[in-house]
């Protein structure tokens, strides 16, 4: 097989990470650099201390080379995360509003740009961990509500979706198969029921005739 089984119905965490790296972040160049012609959007010409938006993969590359600092997004602050956490607790059947790629972006920035954070990184890590856990528990609970027709999962991020995907797909599939077999049974019942109904109709017809 040209594609290993493990990739056949799900993405690996590394692949989700890869998708997250396409997201734009703001950097503050430390030096001026010429741009570069790329296959996708070009790398812009960078001027020292002039903010620019570039994809995360490029930002971390430059950061590692000490060519820039990264502007940590607003949502990666103690205040924002704490509010979200409180929301998670307050509304047990909803997921709070976090960016689509919050997990991989947070991890990458903490790993490679911890010095660019205003709030203490360890506090951020701790809050992220708490958020992760409470949402995971919620997602698992939500799986109890699974039915074979559809499920709604508003508010989950891609990484979180990817993590529960295999389980949900498996369960939904089983439910669907069970339901299909019930349908077959019902269809087999139908001719019998229809015949019974016909008998009843015939009886009532007789009544009509008799009245006449």
Phi, psi for 53 (deg, rounded to 5): -100, 125
Which of 66, 115, 150, 202 touches other proteins by CB under 8 A?
Answer: 150
CB of 95 to other proteins, least distance (A): 10
Q: Does 179 bind other proteins (CB under 8 A)?
A: yes
CA–CA gap between residue 151 and residue 175 (Å, rounded):
12
The β-bridge partners of 43 are 36
Please work out the total of residues on this chain that contact other proteins, with binding judged by CB under 8 A: 48
**CB closer to other proteins, 43 vs 70:** 43
Q: Does 17 bind other proteins (CB under 8 A)?
A: yes
CA–CA gap between residue 212 and residue 200 (Å, rounded):
19
Q: Map residues 159-178 to x or -, x wherever contact with other proteins holds by CB under 8 A.
A: --x---x--xx--xx--x--
Phi, psi for 30 (deg, rounded to 5): -95, -20
Long-range contacts of 149-155 (CB under 8 A, 24+ apart): 153/95, 154/94, 154/95, 155/94, 155/95, 155/96, 155/97, 155/98
CA distances from 42 to 17, 56, 66, 121 (A): 21, 14, 20, 32
CB of 82 to other proteins, least distance (A): 25
Q: Map residues 74-113 to x or -, x wherever contact with other proteins holds by CB under 8 A.
A: ----------------------------------------
Which of 61, 71, 78, 134 touches other proteins by CB under 8 A?
Answer: 61
- The footprint of other proteins (CB under 8 A) covers 1-4, 7-8, 11-12, 14-15, 17-19, 22, 33-34, 36-43, 57-58, 61, 64-65, 67, 148-156, 158, 161, 165, 168-169, 172-173, 176, 179
């Amino acid at each position: 097989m040209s594609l290993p089984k493990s990739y056949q119905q799900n993405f690996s965490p590394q692949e989700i990470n890869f998708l997250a790296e396409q997201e734009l972040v703001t950097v503050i160049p430390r030096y001026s650099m010429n741009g570069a012609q790329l296959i996708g959007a070009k790398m812009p010409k960078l001027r020292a201390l002039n903010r620019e938006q570039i994809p995360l993969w490029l930002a971390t590359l430059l950061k590692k080379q000490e060519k820039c600092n990264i502007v940590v997004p607003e949502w990666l602050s103690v205040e924002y995360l704490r509010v979200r956490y409180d929301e998670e607790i307050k509304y047990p059947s909803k997921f709070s509003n976090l960016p689509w790629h919050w997990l991989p972006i947070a991890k990458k920035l903490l790993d490679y740009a911890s010095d660019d954070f205003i709030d203490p990184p360890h506090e951020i890590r701790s809050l992220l961990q708490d958020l992760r856990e409470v949402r995971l528990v919620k997602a698992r609970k939500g799986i109890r509500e699974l039915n074979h027709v559809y499920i709604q999962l508003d508010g989950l991020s891609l990484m979180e979706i990817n993590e529960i995907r295999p389980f949900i797909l498996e369960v939904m599939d089983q439910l669907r198969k069970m339901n299909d077999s019930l349908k077959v049974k019902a269809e087999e019942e139908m001719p019998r029921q229809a015949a019974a109904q016909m008998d009843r109709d015939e009886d009532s017809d007789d009544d009509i005739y008799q009245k006449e």
